Chains A and B, each alone.
Chain A
């Protein structure tokens, strides 16, 4: 009997070893220079993190240069011009190249582990996003070394940035950052679909790790916050490049539209930066209280509340622009109200700490330091939300102090806590406790010495964004103190770098789950294995390592889902968004260089456009398009060799799904929501002009008429109906009628595009004369461009079917394209209604 068990054990062991061999082969890292073709989340996430930390240090050095210049009154260390470039780049790099990317990087790196997934659903999309980010970031930062950097502030207010800064700097900002924002949105799509569809079986919506909840909220915020800025970028760049007068008051424009679009992005942006860090706190604090987070649902709901409210606060950045009292009052109340959900989250942490058993550790040191620092920033935030005080404090150094307390306390300290906390997973080594403490105290003290005096300088009347100040202002000593503090702060970061490098060089690996945490990611073996989890577990608790018996052993022994890679392909489990019921065994694509080409050519398009080298830009754009098509053609919607697959625990799942169960469908839907938000932002611009500017309505009669816009909407609706019909015909395997319907609806799309352009062409609308024709042209162009993309998609489906890569059964391509056409039809209906209806009819 005993021998029998032994034999079985060794047989089992044999089996397990061969499973591991197959898993290893599937998830193998490419060797040599091909290493860079890897798309797996743990590599891309790591590159992403390291790159954004590099940008952080770069922007930090810029801050030191500014502090040297401001150390003494009337100092000559930097010229006005270089100071203005440097402060613009400091803000821009910290916001766009560090604060947002670092959270995306952390999430790409850690989310699969937290969700017990092998990878996120679109590894190549993450890789594409990363390479775009790297190229765009280097391009934007590099401009500084040629003295050609943007110098209009990170807020880029026109008309300073349209008519008064002729150089290439503003274009670098607009196009370089639009390029990076596209990458951010790509990451947001990846994270949303990942959290909704890649959770382990049993992880119902109430068991989602708190970190994932926050990331879900933040990623959704990105979808709605970034597009208004992209719309603004489009308008501003159109004015710079083609003289379309969106912000020129002499031709009907209005510079305030930019401020609205910028801050509709800019304020949620603060919370996009802040919430992921709160997520880290909410993950770290329970671990060191040895207690599940108290008030889980309170925290989630208040995070949702903050997310919602953050879209209704933007005007508090514009209190001094001369708005009516009632507007000021409404936005002031909303801005103060956001303190309530924020407070709920902090008090949930306090409650957890009170109830639990507090364990001293470096991550906790950073967390607590972050919280009390953030509370200072939060309280000064409520102060500046009070309109009368805002009139004084706005654009003074008081704000500089306030925002750094918010961002460093609310974001950077938790990020450092996260680095110390997650180092064992990411590097396989624990960071030093002693160096960690030194690092914390030096940064904490240096930070307060730097930024606390800034509140006082502000109250003494020092405005922001000044390259120098007179001695009579009486802020010389305060500025000198700030400068000294900045260098102390910087030296703390040197300790961090030292700690990271020396720990990386240490031979000894950390033990497994060194903090004795309860969350799923600590199931990870250290050093980690390329495949992530050995088997994808069934989850019954928010803290499975604390609550589920024999959890780690069962995972390790492959007792859960997908313990094997029988076909030696990369696979992960797709589940339903609410109840996490297994739906599909998703095969994710492996290493490739096509994403690099796609990123490279997309970058080329934006970079050449910056210099107005249109031929090169368009060529590069065409190459980007073809790279992306090739990538989709070879890397998506593979027809599997069998319909279903045994995923373990006596369950078989389909390998290929289409429609609302499929991750591709979700990605299309989410991307189009972001796209549609950008479109709605342009519509907002249209109505802004219509309500604010009297001369806008005076343009009645010069518009595109009613006939052509309406005709175009009808044609696009027909194109949508045709595409939908062809999808159904394909599903019924009516091959010929599928082809003919799809070709006919392609023709509808082409006529739709022609019709939408006919209006402004026939009426001879010149976009350089007035904002009215300009905004009509923008809407028409937007619709036309989307129609063009739609045509490419229709051809793609025709080709897929023809090549046998799409069949009646495996029809994800046409299903997703049909979804695209829903949004296209909506876009054209709204465009037509707006340009034909206002002010023509009303």
Chain B
């Protein structure tokens, strides 16, 4: 399986584009073989002089009339689906995705409420969604090949990308505009789920962490505060909130950390906290290799608990 492939489309936009692609590909292959045949005929199967007046027909037919007809047809064919790709259907769910070096800030607009998470997007199947794409530093590009084409995230602007996912499943996405050292490690996941699963998830995401996990009640929470993690990361229910790094309120429920660079498990969390540079070059996350091993274990266990 190739989860990033545009050849297994799973949303209306990507299905449309896949259809266009198939036709383009077939036409291109046919033209190429005709051209090859002509070239071989002109050289190897036709070594003798011919009437050069007659040969001008090749120029007029093959060079002028043929391409003009083909290109005209192609223009109409290829522009036809464009409006549907750009138009925002009414009642689309709006999600702001903001690119940062090298992760994704995701904000669900739910009524008056803004629910923030990172690097993992859940979507209900068969419901149109509009992504409002922004950037907080350099230019990034939001691309989930199986669901839609890409749109750039440009500082100072806000772009829009719309599609309706059609199949339940997990679809990885990537940043496709070169954005610095760890551009290759700026990935995310889109999970398309049933409406009820989605509602449940969103409700859970909107809540702060359980009181049993708060610093007063849990050593991990205490360490999260005392080691200064909160100056960059938000965990709702813990205290002052940093916004430099991803919101970690429900990090335990995500399948990956560090924007797709590592699977979400204890060993990976250890690695990431101790030596982020090794995992993701030039990442803003500082190294915490001075944390005592005991504290580190408590901290990561606590993070895993944040479901």
Contact = CB atoms under 8 A, between A and B. Distances in A.
A255 B156 contact: yes
The 6 closest A-B pairs by CB, nearest first: A391-B149, A461-B4, A249-B156, A347-B63, A322-B159, A474-B2
A202 to B, nearest CB: 24
A474 B1 contact: yes
B16 A388 contact: yes
Given A294-B55, A320-B149, A355-B50, A340 B78 contact: no
Contact of B281 (A80, A392, A462): A80
25 contacts: A80-B184, A80-B185, A84-B183, A152-B178, A164-B180, A294-B55, A325-B83, A343-B62, A343-B63, A344-B64, A347-B62, A351-B55, A356-B50, A382-B74, A383-B25, A386-B78, A388-B16, A388-B85, A391-B149, A392-B6, A392-B14, A395-B178, A462-B4, A463-B184, A464-B178
A653 interface: no
A396 interface: yes
B68 to A, nearest CB: 6
B184 A466 contact: yes
Nearest to A84: B181
B78 A294 contact: no
Contact of A389 (B21, B43, B151, B282): B21
Given A164-B137, A396-B176, A325 B86 contact: yes
A80 to B, nearest CB: 4
B231 to A, nearest CB: 21
B145 A368 contact: no
Given A249-B156, A320-B152, A464-B176, A372 B62 contact: no
Contact of A380 (B14, B28, B38, B46): B28
A461 to B, nearest CB: 3
B47 to A, nearest CB: 5
B252 interface: no
A472 B172 contact: yes
B44 A358 contact: yes
B89 interface: no
Interface in B54-74: 54-59, 61-64, 66-68, 71, 74
B155 interface: yes
Interface in B232-252: none
A710 B127 CA distance: 60
Contacts of A357: 47-49
Contacts of A322: 133, 151-152, 154, 157, 159-160
B141 to A, nearest CB: 6
Given A462-B4, A468-B184, 13 more contacts: A80-B281, A84-B178, A84-B180, A152-B178, A157-B178, A159-B139, A164-B137, A329-B82, A350-B38, A353-B43, A356-B50, A368-B43, A460-B7
Given A80-B181, A256-B154, A354-B46, A388 B36 contact: no
A346 B63 contact: yes
Contacts of A541: none
Nearest to B148: A391
A462 B152 CA distance: 17
Interface of B: 1-7, 14, 16-17, 20-21, 24-25, 28, 31-32, 35-36, 38-39, 41-44, 46-52, 54-59, 61-64, 66-68, 71, 74-75, 78-79, 81-83, 85-86, 101, 133, 137-139, 141, 143, 145-146, 148-152, 154-157, 159-160, 172, 174-185, 187, 260, 281-282
A337 B71 contact: yes
Q: Which of B42, B48, B75 has the most CB of A within 10 A?
A: B42
Contact of A387 (B49, B79, B172): B79
A578 interface: no
A164 B101 contact: yes
A160 interface: yes
A473 B4 contact: yes
Given A321-B154, A392-B6, A462-B4, A379 B31 contact: yes
A396 B181 CA distance: 18
Interface string A430-473: 00000000000000000000000000000111111111111011
A392 B154 contact: no
A358 B47 contact: yes
Given A254-B156, A396-B176, A320 B1 contact: no
Contacts of A355: 49-52, 54-55
B32 to A, nearest CB: 6
A518 to B, nearest CB: 15
Contacts of A339: 67, 71
Nearest to A319: B149
A333 interface: yes
A291 B56 CA distance: 13
Q: Which of B38, B183, B282 has the most CB of A within 10 A?
A: B183
Contacts of B176: 394-396, 463-464
Nearest to B9: A392
Given A160-B138, A164-B138, A344 B82 contact: no
Contacts of B50: 354-356
A270 to B, nearest CB: 19
Given A249-B155, A295-B56, A343 B67 contact: yes
Contact of A348 (B59, B79, B86): B59
B184 A460 contact: no
Given A80-B182, A160-B179, A392 B149 contact: yes
Contacts of B35: 346, 372, 375
Contacts of B54: 355
Contact of B52 (A291, A320, A383, A473): A291
Q: Which of A80, A151, A152 has the most CB of B within 10 A?
A: A80
Contacts of B282: 80-81
Interface string A383-427: 100111111101110000000000000000000000000000000
Q: Which of B44, B59, B101 has the most CB of A within 10 A?
A: B59
Interface string A201-218: 000000000000000000
Contacts of A347: 58-59, 61-63
Contacts of B4: 460-462, 473-474
Nearest to B133: A322
A348 B38 CA distance: 12
A336 interface: yes
B24 A386 contact: yes
Interface string A289-322: 0010011001000100000000000000000111
A634 to B, nearest CB: 49
B234 to A, nearest CB: 23
Contacts of A325: 82-83, 86
A333 B73 CA distance: 11
A606 B82 CA distance: 46
Contact of A295 (B6, B46, B59): B59
Contact of A388 (B78, B151, B155): B78
Nearest to A162: B138
Contacts of B182: 80
B7 A459 contact: yes
A463 B42 contact: no
A44 interface: no
A389 B24 contact: yes
A475 interface: yes
Contacts of B155: 159, 249, 255
A347 B62 CA distance: 6
Interface in A455-502: 459-470, 472-475
Nearest to A161: B138
Interface string A146-164: 0000011100010110001
A79 interface: yes
Nearest to A325: B86
B47 A79 contact: no
A675 to B, nearest CB: 31
Contact of B150 (A379, A392, A462): A392
B71 A340 contact: yes
B160 A395 contact: no
A339 B70 CA distance: 10
A461 B47 contact: no
